[in-house]
Amino acid sequence: MFVGRLGTTEIILIFVVVMLLFGVKKLPDVARSLGKSARILKSEARAMREEGKNSAQAADSEEQRAIEIAPSAAVTAQPIKEPTNTVDR
């Protein structure tokens, strides 16, 4: 509704209110904290995107790994299929 309609007077008024609420000495700490939070959020979002791409690539390739049975369990070792996670998220 009011997006894009903020003039210089409104911005200065907001800045003065913020200075009154937090004090001039705490503003650098608040800005630093906001910057750290933004960086953490950005890195987590990037990690989630990469994880999604990796899981999609793994589902596309569907390589089957062979697990050998212990020699005492069978005369010859035979590959068996690994159980897959079938739970939908």
Q: Which of 56, 76, 59, 58 is nearest to 68 (CA)?
A: 76
At 67, phi and psi to the nearest 5?
A: -115, 130
- Tens digit of pLDDT for each residue in 6-60? 788 998 998 888 888 878 788 888 889 989 999 999 999 999 988 888 777 766 5
For 13, the token pair is 């008024």
Angle at 58 between CA 56 and CA 62, to 5 degrees: 125
DSSP 80: E
- Please give the structure tokens belonging to residue 74: 């069978």
- Whether residue 79 contacts residue 68, with contact meaning beta carbons closer than 8 Å, is answered with yes
Q: Note the pTM of the prediction, 2 decimals.
A: 0.42
